[in-house]
Structure formats: structure tokens, C-alpha cells
A and B are shown apart, each in its own frame.
Chain A
Amino acid sequence: MSLIEIARLSDPQREKLGQYGQRWSELRIATEPCDRAAAEAGVERAYAAAGLVPPRSIVWGGGPLEIANDWMRSSDSAGEAVRSQVIDQICRKAEVAVEHVVGLGVRMALAGELRLARVPQFCTTIDEAVHRDCQRVRPTLRARFFNLFAPRRLRRASFASSAFAFHSASSLGALEFFHDACGLQRQTAALSGLWQIAENAAWMLPHRHVCWLSERPRLVCQDPRGRLHAANGPAVGYRDGWSAYAWKGVLVPSWMIEHPERITVRTIGAALDPQIRRCMIEILTPERFIAQGGAHRIAQDETGVLWRQRWRWEAWAAVEVTNGTPEADGTRKRYFLQVPANMRTPREAVAWTYGLSETRYRPTVRT
């Protein structure tokens, strides 16, 4: 006998799927202050679903760094970390239960709703920035010493493995859809507390007796491709004052955005990280980088000019092209397209930008 309860989604369910995609997409970029009472009620339900007594206290922070600092200073009376029981195991159980009762058609429909099926790139970059800075939050020397001898269950793990970011929850939105729109309450009811927290808080760091919650960010900036990006200030910032800067999904030092005038051919050459170096070139603009002597002219043909620069461990190249159509004043706009550094001719470089080989790129008309 087949255990499949839902072979495919009905039209109203498909419509709802889109609505839930939109709802979770909006939750991920929400910046309003949290409804703390609602989040705290969710914590009680989430602990109960995991078979735990609700925490004795719930501690709020303006952002993840503030809760990381408070968590590090806390004593052993907070009890052991319970993220695994309260979040990971509950989610996994529900995912498995739902997988058993939905058919391939439902899974394909879900895979097509990318807002539910994938964690957006900007969310993982926020986590990367938060984990990087929270990793630097260290317990006191005394606490670290006693941690060596503490029972295994009480040993303090890292912030990254103890805390949970709701914007990066991979399955909560889809499971809420199955609960509300597909009648799979039995498989997903244990998640009600987590949905309530997700709607009203950003980060959660649950221990047996204390649960830390963080407010939502006060700003989140993305580019049109969904990457964490801001050209004029922090790309993400929380209410505790912590913020991070990003350029097209790459975390960059604040000075690159706040003081772009400090980016020169020399600072670009001195950069150690190739991704940071490329961000510097983009902020300066490839045109100015080349004009200031940053790259060498390698070759020229009827498609454009190829420029390249090599450093100790890395190389950069761009092809300079002009618009096929002149402007009203007769001039032609120039563009610099960054290409792989192993390009040998401008034609090969332009062909690469279209995913073609050099021999196949032969436009008969170009405007």
C-alpha cells in the first residue's frame, strides 16, 4: 500500500505555495522591531515540543554579537546547549515525515518555488559575517580553563554551532506550507513554536535554562541578484550597533566602502585576498584602474582591447569594448568586461562573455 498522501498539488495549493514563498522571502528581509512577547511564547512551545521545560529566562539582545557576548559571560547555570533538540532534530523529524507522504510531483513543485527551496545567498553571507565576528568573542581565561574539565555535555561549543539564524532556515517555510495548506498537521505540528519565533526574532541561542534571542537587523541591502551588497554604507546592521560591509556578496573591510578614495593601484596590488582585490578594482572601476596604469595592454582586434595584470598568485583581465551604436554626439560608449585571465585575444574574451568559443563568435550585425 502506498503511503503517499499527496501525489501532486492542486491549483489552490500551488497558489498558496507562491504566497508562502513571498511570506518567507519578506520575513528574511524584515527590519521592524520584534514582537518580543510573541517570540517568547514561541520559545515555550518550541521547548515543550522538544520535551524540555521552558527556560527560566529569555535574554534579548539587539543583535547576534550582543547575545554572543552575553552568552560568553553567562555561567554554567544556563545549562547545556539545546539547539540540537529544540531546532535541528524537530526540523529533521518533520522533514522526514513529510518526505514519506508527498509524491515526486509535490517535491518538484516545491523545488520550483525557489523562495522556499533555497536559502538566499545574502542570508549565508550575513551568517558568514556574524560567525566571523562572534568567533572572536572569547570566554574569560578562567572559564576556558574550567571548560577543559567540565562534563562533556556542559562544555561550551562555538557560537556558530550553538546559535540559529531564522533567515537561513532551509525548511521551516516549506514545512509551514505543508502544515497550513496540505493538511499535514500530524507531521509538522511540533514546529509551531519555531514558526512563531521565526516571525518575531532573528537569532536564537537556546540553552536548557536560558534562551537568548536577538532583534532583527535594522538594515539589509541586496543587489538585484540577491547578493549582500551596499555601495554607500553597511550592507547589514543590527540594533546592537554591529554591522558588516559587502560588495556583490563578498565581505569587505569598512574602509573600502566608507573611503573608496583610498583604493589605488598600490592598495590593489597589496591585497592578499583575490576576491577583495577584485572588489577594490570594481569600486575604483576597471576603467580608472587601467587609466592609472594598473594593467597592461595585451592585444587589440576588431572586437576590442584586452588588458591584463599579474600579481604573485593571481591575475586579472578585462576586455574593453565599445557600443555598436554611436551616441547622439557621435561618440561610442566604452565598457570594460572582466574576463578570465587566461584569455589570449579580445575576440576570445568577448566570445567567453557569451559562453562561445573564439571561432563561433561571429556576429553579422552588432548594434
Chain B
Amino acid sequence: MTEMFAQGDLLIERVADIEPSGTILAPDTTGAIVLAEGELTGHRHAIFDRVTMFRDDSLAREIPAGLYVGHVKVEGGSALIQHQEHAPINLGEGTYRVRRQRELEPKDAVLVAD
């Protein structure tokens, strides 16, 4: 079974170990790799340990548009995903694919023939 972690509105799933490809995302000025940031609260899902985050859309073709956040490669020890509201999640060495949660929006509403 795929190792899968849910932290608030993020889902992190372990995938086969791969080399980083696509765009490498650099840490911000605080040294954190920010996986996602709340639109209204500003709360962040962030990793302060040394990991490589990259984004390669070709590795997320089966994920619905807009949900793919990126991949995280953890090497040389574990890494902690931290968030202001949720308990931290510990990621062991390996590669993980991160996606965000969606919700049906008013614009998505359509009439159905019931």
C-alpha cells in the first residue's frame, strides 16, 4: 500500500525514488521550503530540513489540473513538514508527491437532468 500522509488540505504520497527534474524550487528567505500557504490565514506547510523540492508536470499527468503542488526528495535523514494548526509529519528518506485539496466552487455548478 502506498504510504500516504494528510496534513490539513495537503496530501503527501510516497512514490518511487526518482532524480529531481523540471523546475527546482528554492527555499524562501527564512530557509523554508514552502509546500503551500493558506490564502486567507497565511499559515504555511513548510519544511525547514534539507530537502529538494521540484515540480515536473510530466510526473503528475493523472492528477486533476491545479492540484499538483510538486515533489519532495528527502535524502540524508528524515524531514518534518510543519504547520501552525496541524501536528508535524515526519517523512523518511525517499521521494514524495504533494497535492492540494479542492472543493466544488459556485462556478462549477451545472444543471443536471435528474
Is A278 a contact of B109 with CB atoms below 8 Å?
Answer: yes
Scan residues 62-97 of chain B and give those whose CB is less than 8 A from a CB of chain A: 63-64, 67, 83, 85-89
Is B107 a contact of A248 with CB atoms below 8 Å?
Answer: yes
Known: A313-B111, A354-B101. A367 touches B106 (CB 8 A): no
Residue A341 lies at the interface, judged by CB distance under 8 Å to chain B: yes
One of A223, A250, A338 near B103 (C-beta < 8 A): A338
The size bracket of the interface on A is 35 or more
Q: Enumerate chain B residues within 8 angstroms of A353, measured Cβ to Cβ.
A: 101-103
Residue B25 lies at the interface, judged by CB distance under 8 Å to chain A: no
Residue A68 lies at the interface, judged by CB distance under 8 Å to chain B: no
Is A282 a contact of B87 with CB atoms below 8 Å?
Answer: no
Number of interface residues of B (CB under 8 A): 34
Q: Enumerate chain A residues within 8 angstroms of B102, measured Cβ to Cβ.
A: 353-355
Q: Enumerate chain A residues within 8 angstroms of B87, measured Cβ to Cβ.
A: 324-325, 367
What string of 1s and 0s marks CB contacts (under 8 Å) between B26-67 and chain A?
Answer: 000000000000011000000000000000000000011001
Q: Which 8 A-B pairs have the closest CB atoms?
A: A278-B106, A367-B87, A274-B109, A355-B64, A224-B39, A338-B104, A363-B6, A366-B6
Interface residues of A (CB under 8 A from B): 223-225, 227, 247-250, 274-279, 282, 310, 312-315, 323-325, 333, 337-341, 353-356, 360-367
List 13 additional A-B contacts (Cβ < 8 Å) besides A325-B86, A355-B64, A355-B99. Answer: A313-B112, A314-B109, A315-B112, A324-B7, A325-B87, A338-B103, A339-B104, A355-B67, A360-B2, A362-B4, A363-B4, A366-B7, A367-B87
A sample of 12 cross-chain residue pairs with beta-carbon separation below 8 angstroms, ordered by A number, consists of: A224-B39, A227-B107, A248-B105, A248-B106, A275-B106, A313-B114, A314-B112, A323-B85, A355-B64, A361-B4, A363-B5, A367-B7
